[in-house]
Structure 1
Amino acid sequence: MSCCTPDGNCSTGTATAEATDDTTTVYNVSGMTCEHCKAALTNSIGALDSVVAVHVDLDAGQVAVTTSEQPDDALLAQVVDDAGYELTGRAG
């Protein structure tokens, strides 16, 4: 039995102070039209190691990705492309 949770946090019984500097980056994504699109992107992007949270805004055509380190735009673009959509860049 592991002491670690699925998100990688470990409970060893000792208290440690760890600062987290999560980064949220908003991307423009084309091709999203429905709840299936939202779920597909949330699952695909959320499976990446450094991703903490994903919020898909269908109306705005944007995806906000919160990562525990600097986001890898090329990797995110590939994951979005593999899911059948197009990451067209960071939102301004």
Structure 2
Amino acid sequence: MTTTEYQVTGMSCGHCEASVRREVGGIAGVEDIDVSAASGRLVVTSTADLDDDAVFAAVDEAGYQAVRA
């Protein structure tokens, strides 16, 4: 298992968290997602190293911006 942390900007509520969780959850190999609008933190646990660009695209699809923390 691999854990990767990202900083997400623009989230402000539980709906925002759910949107990010849904989009990132669609990435192959993702096992667990911890996302917090309050801290802007996204932690993704996966079966293998994640492609950062796939995470960035998924977060963008949810309507937010992410950078690797």
Q: TM-score range with shorter-chain normalisation?
A: over 0.9
Matched, 1:49 2:15: no
Task: Output one character per residue of 1:36-79: Cα deviation in whole Å (capped at 9) or x when no partner.
Answer: 00111111111211100000022211100011100100011011
1:37 to 3, 6, 16: 16
Larger radius of gyration: 1
Structure (1/2) with the larger helix percentage: 2
Runs of 4+ in 1 over 6 A off after TM superposition: none
TM-score (norm 2): 0.94
Structure of greater relative contact order (alpha carbons < 8 Å, 6+ residues apart): 2
Separation in structure 1 between the aligned mates of residue 57 and residue 24 of structure 2, nearest angstrom: 10
The RMSD of aligned alpha carbons is 0.8
Q: Does 1:79 align with 2:58?
A: yes
TM-score for the superposition, normalised by structure 1: 0.72
Partner of 2:46: 67
Specify every segment of 5 or more residues in structure 2 that has no aligned partner in the other structure, as ranges.
none
Structure 1 gap ranges (5+): 1-21
Shift of 1:31: 0.6
Instruction: Kindly indicate which of the two structures has a greater share of residues assigned to strand.
Output: 2
For residue 76 of structure 1, give the secondary structure of its aligned residue in structure 2: helix
